[in-house]
C-alpha cells in the first residue's frame, strides 16, 4: 500500500468518455489498496474558451480577475471526475485550492507555491476517500485566487506529493513516456525506462515538452520520484529520479527546439564590460538568453550572437534598438530561420567524444552548424530550421543504433 | 451617499454586450457617490450547460459535487463583470462565497444562509472599490461549497444587504417592475410604484415570478427595502416595503398559475380525523397543498379536493394509491386542466366585497368557478385552464378600470 499522487492533463479529461477512462485508472489504483490523490487540469479547450470570453470584454483585464475566471476550469474538471467516480461506486471528494490550503505568492498568473496545508487531504484519505484536487491554482495571503502559470498542474501534483510525503507522483499525459527523440519525427526513437532529474530538465528546456521544468525542479529538490505515462495506453512509463542504473546508455535523448530566434549584434566596440552591459539590459527586461557566442569582428570590434525564445523577439529587438547608441553596435541581424538540436545524457560527463560524435553525424548528412553550446550533460547546436528533422534523425541514428 | 446592493440575473449578463450594459448601471450608481455591492447570477444558459455536462456523466451525482460544479457559473460572471468595469476605468474586485464568508447550512443544492461575515466587503468598500459577489452560493461548516437552490441569487442579495446594513437592495431583472397583472397577458396591466412585502409574497406564490419568496421573506423579516427594476429599460421600478401609501388601490394585482393539478378523493368515509390523515400523509412526503375543498358526498361519505404543484403530481398519486386501503376512499380524480387566478391586495381586508366583485367579473364572461380559497389579502379561484387568459383580463378590467 502506498500514497500515490496522479496528475491528468486537459486532453486526458476532454470529454465524458475520457473522464471515465481516467476514472478507471484512478479507481484501479485505489482498488490495489493505495491512497490516491489526483490533480486535474481544465478539460480540453476550456481554458482557451474562457480566455476568449475575457478578451471579448477586456483584452487588458487585470491578472487577478483573469485568475478568478480561469480557476473555474479546473473546478469543473474535479466536480465532473468526482461524479464519474461516484458512478463507478467509489468514495470520492473534490477539493479546490483554497479548500486544501494551497498557499502561493501574490503574483497573479504566475504564482509560486509557498506552502500546502495537508490537513484536509489527510482527513479525507483517513476516511478512505479518493481525493481530487484542482490543479493550476492557489490562494495568496490576501485570500485571493491565483494561478500558477505554465506547467501549473504538474507543479501542483509534485507540491502535493512532497507535502503528503507520497511514494510516487505519476504524471499522465498523451505520450507514454520520455523518448530518446520525438517519436513523431524519429521513427526508431526508443522509450526510456528511467531518466535522471537533470536529464529531464535539460530535455524539457530543450523543447521535449513532456514535463514542465518547474515540476521537475521541485521533484529534484525534494527527491520525489515521478513517472511520466499515458492515460490512453495503460503501459509503464518513464521513471524520473535521482540516479538511474549505471549500465544505461550515456546519452538519454535527442531534442529539438524550433521556437527560437537568433540575434547578432555586429560591430560592438571591443572594450571590457560590453557583454555584461548587453545581457544585463536583457535580464532587466526579463528576456531569457540561451546560447551565447562571441567572436572577433573586423577593425577592433567584436560580434555577439545569442538565441532567445521567439516570443521575446519583438521586445528584445525594441530594447536593443533603444539602446543602440549606448551599446555602440553597428547593426543588428535577426533570424528566425534557425533551430536547436541537442543531445542530453548524465553519462556524457564521463564519456568524452559525445560532442564530436554529434558533429560527425551532422557532417555526414551535410548540415552546417551555426552555433554550439555545451554543458556537463548536454551538447546543443544551432542549425538552419529546414534541416531540423534531418538532423534529428541523423544524430539519433548515430547514438542509438 | 448610500450603500446599495444590486442584483443582476442571468439574462442581464448573458453576453458581452449585456455585461457592458450592466457595467454602465453599476458604475453610474458608483459615480453618484454610492458604495455599491453587486450580486451576479451565472450567465444565460451556463447553469443549464453545466447540468447537461453532469447528466452526461452521472445523472444521480451527489449534490455536493453538483454544487462544486454549478458554483463555477457565478464565479465566471463576477470575473467577466470585473473585467468590464476595469475597462470602463473604475476600481473593482470580484469575490466568491468563501471569500466573503457566506456561511450556509450543509444541505447541498438548497442551503440556507446562516451568517455573512461582512469584513472583507467592508474593507474593499473602504478602499473605494465596487464589490462584485458570486450569487447563489455559500460555504458550509465543512468548508464545502453549497448552492442556495431556486431564487438563490435574490436571496444572496438580500442577505448581503441585511448584513451590510444597506440602504436599498435593487433586484434587476428582465421586467421593469411589479404589475397589476402579467403585461404579456393583460394589455392594460399597470406598473405598481410600491407594494408591501405581504402582497409581494402572495403574488410570488401565485405565480407572478418576479421575485422569489425566500428573498422577500428575508427582506420582510429584516425590514430591508427592495426595488424590482429592469436592467434594460433604465426606468424606476417597484419598491417593495412594509407599508405603502394609504391612498393606493385596495387590490394590487391579479395573478395566474397554470402549473397546478387538482386531485379529488371521492367517497371518503365520513369519520373524524379523515382530513388530518390525508394531509398529514402528504406533508410527510413533502407535498405542499394549496387550495383545499371538502364537500359532502353521497351515502355517508365525503369528497376532498385539493390542488398541488404539477411537479408533485406523480408522487402524490403514488402515495395516495399506496394508502387507498387505510384512507378508505372510493376513487381518485386527477385533473391538470385547471388554473388558478387570484387577486391580491393588503387593502382588501378593509374592503368587503372584493371576492364578490371578482366572482361577478368571471360570471359576466361566463367562466365557471371550480374551487375558491381566500386569505386576508387574497382571493383565489380555480377555473378551467383554457379560460385563464379570459379570466385574467376580465378580473383585471373590473378592478383597474
For cell 467592508, the residue is B122
Q: In A, which residues are within 8 Å of B64 by CB distance?
A: 93
Is some CB atom of chain A closer than 8 A to the CB atom of B278?
Answer: no
Task: Please give the Cα distance from A201 to B109 (Å, whole number).
Answer: 46
Tell me the mean pLDDT in the region B318-332.
Answer: 89
For position A375, what pLDDT does the model report? 78
**Phi/psi of residue B159, nearest 5 degrees:** -60, -40
Instruction: State the nearest Cα–Cα gap between B38 and chain A, in angstroms.
Output: 16
Task: Please give the Cα distance from A268 to B353 (Å, whole number).
Answer: 102
For position A252, what pLDDT does the model report? 84
Residue A248: pLDDT over 70: no
How many C-beta neighbours within 10 Å does residue A263 have?
22
More confident residue, A281 or B273: A281
C-alpha cell at B107: 444541505
Residue A297: pLDDT over 70: no
Mark yes or no for CB contact A83/B19 under 8 Å. no
Tell me the mean pLDDT in the region B42-68.
Answer: 95
Q: Are B47 and B142 in contact (CB under 8 A)?
A: no
Residue A198: pLDDT over 80: yes
Give the sheet arrangement for strand A102-104, strand by strand.
A113-116, A102-104, A137-139, A145-147
Q: What angle do the packed helices B354-364 and B388-400 form, to 10 degrees? A: 130
Q: DSSP letter at B191? A: B
Mark yes or no for CB contact A68/B75 under 8 Å. yes
Task: Please give the Cα distance from B272 to B20 (Å, whole number).
Answer: 63
Cβ pairs bridging A and B (under 8 Å): 110
Least confident span in A326-340, B120-134, B199-213, B353-367: B199-213
Q: DSSP letter at A206? A: I
For cell 529538490, the residue is A221
Task: Please give the Cα distance from B54 to A16 (Å, whole number).
Answer: 9
Least confident span in A47-56, A181-190, A377-386: A181-190
Q: In A, which residues are within 8 Å of B109 by CB distance?
A: none
Instruction: State the nearest Cα–Cα gap between B251 and chain A, in angstroms.
Output: 45
* Mean pLDDT of chain A, nearest integer: 89
What is the value of ipTM here, to two decimals? Answer: 0.79
Mark yes or no for CB contact B54/A120 under 8 Å. no
Q: How far apart are the first and last CA of chain B?
A: 40
How many C-beta neighbours within 10 Å does residue A89 have?
7
Tell me the mean pLDDT in the region A66-80.
Answer: 97
Angle at A41 between CA A36 and CA A42, to 5 degrees: 135
User: How many helices (H) and strands (E) would you count in chain A?
Assistant: 13, 20
**Angstrom distances, CA of residue A34 to CA of A1, A163, B295:** 5, 17, 66
Instruction: State the nearest Cα–Cα gap between B214 and chain A, in angstroms.
Output: 28
User: Which one of A66, A72, A144 has the shortest CB-CB distance to B72?
Assistant: A72
Q: Which of residues 28-67 of B touch A (CB under 8 A)?
A: 50, 53-54, 56-58, 61-62, 64-66
pLDDT band for A250, please (50, 70, 90 cuts).
confident
Q: In A, which residues are within 8 Å of B143 by CB distance?
A: 99, 120
pLDDT band for A400, please (50, 70, 90 cuts).
confident
pLDDT band for A62, please (50, 70, 90 cuts).
very high
Residue ranges in B131-273 assigned as alpha helix (H): 152-163, 197-203, 213-221
For position A56, what pLDDT does the model report? 96
**Angstrom distances, CA of residue A346 to CA of A34, A159, A198, B356:** 33, 25, 7, 97
Tell me the mean pLDDT in the region B374-384.
Answer: 85
Q: Are A41 and A136 in contact (CB under 8 A)?
A: yes
Q: In B, which residues are within 8 Å of A82 by CB distance?
A: 61-62, 65, 68
Bridge partner residues of B94 (DSSP):
B132
Give every CB contact of residue B66 below 8 A, 6+ residues apart in sequence: A79, A83, B51, B54, B108, B109, B147
For position B298, what pLDDT does the model report? 64
Tell me the mean pLDDT in the region A32-46.
Answer: 95
Mark yes or no for CB contact B86/A80 under 8 Å. no
Q: Which tens digits make up the pLDDT trace of B151-186? A: 789 999 999 999 999 999 999 988 888 888 888 888
Residue A245: pLDDT over 80: no
Amino acid at each position: 500500500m502506498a500514497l500515490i499522487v496522479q496528475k491528468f492533463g486537459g486532453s486526458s479529461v476532454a470529454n465524458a468518455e475520457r473522464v471515465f477512462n481516467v476514472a478507471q485508472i484512478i479507481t484501479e489504483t485505489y482498488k490495489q489498496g493505495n491512497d490516491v490523490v489526483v490533480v486535474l487540469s481544465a478539460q480540453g479547450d476550456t481554458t482557451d474558451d474562457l480566455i476568449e470570453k475575457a478578451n471579448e470584454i477586456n483584452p487588458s483585464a487585470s491578472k487577478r480577475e483573469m485568475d478568478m475566471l480561469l480557476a473555474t476550469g479546473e473546478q469543473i474538471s474535479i466536480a465532473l471526475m468526482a461524479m464519474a467516480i461516484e458512478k463507478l461506486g467509489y468514495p470520492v471528494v473534490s477539493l479546490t485550492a483554497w479548500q486544501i490550503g494551497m498557499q502561493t505568492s501574490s503574483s497573479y498568473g504566475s504564482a509560486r507555491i509557498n506552502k500546502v496545508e495537508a490537513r484536509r487531504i489527510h482527513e479525507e484519505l483517513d476516511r478512505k476517500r479518493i481525493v481530487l484536487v484542482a490543479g493550476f491554482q492557489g490562494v495568496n495571503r490576501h485570500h485571493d485566487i491565483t494561478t500558477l502559470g505554465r506547467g501549473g498542474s504538474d507543479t501542483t501534483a509534485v507540491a502535493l506529493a512532497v507535502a503528503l510525503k507520497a511514494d510516487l507522483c505519476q504524471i499522465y499525459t498523451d505520450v507514454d513516456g520520455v523518448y530518446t527523440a520525438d517519436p513523431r519525427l524519429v521513427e526508431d526513437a526508443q522509450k526510456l525506462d528511467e531518466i535522471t532529474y537533470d536529464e529531464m530538465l535539460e530535455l524539457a528546456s530543450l523543447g521535449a515538452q513532456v514535463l514542465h521544468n518547474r515540476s521537475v525542479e521541485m521533484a529534484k529538490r525534494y527527491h520525489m520520484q515521478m513517472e511520466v505515462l499515458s492515460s490512453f495506453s495503460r503501459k509503464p512509463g518513464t521513471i524520473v529520479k535521482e540516479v538511474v542504473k549505471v549500465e544505461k546508455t550515456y546519452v538519454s535523448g535527442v531534442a529539438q527546439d524550433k521556437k527560437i530566434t537568433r540575434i547578432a549584434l555586429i560591430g560592438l566596440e571591443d572594450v571590457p564590460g560590453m557583454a555584461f552591459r548587453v545581457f544585463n539590459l536583457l535580464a532587466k527586461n526579463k528576456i531569457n538568453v540561451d546560447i551565447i557566442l562571441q567572436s572577433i569582428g573586423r577593425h577592433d570590434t567584436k560580434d555577439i550572437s545569442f538565441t532567445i525564445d521567439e516570443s521575446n523577439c519583438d521586445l528584445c529587438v525594441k530594447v536593443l534598438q533603444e539602446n543602440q547608441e549606448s551599446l555602440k553596435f553597428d547593426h543588428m541581424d535577426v533570424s528566425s530561420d534557425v533551430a536547436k538540436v541537442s543531445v542530453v545524457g548524465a553519462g556524457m560527463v564521463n564519456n568524452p567524444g559525445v560532442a564530436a560524435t554529434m558533429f560527425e553525424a551532422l557532417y555526414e548528412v551535410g548540415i552546417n552548424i551555426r552555433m554550439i553550446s555545451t554543458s556537463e550533460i548536454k551538447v546543443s547546436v544551432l542549425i538552419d530550421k529546414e534541416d531540423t528533422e534531418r538532423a534529428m534523425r541523423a544524430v539519433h541514428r548515430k547514438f542509438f543504433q
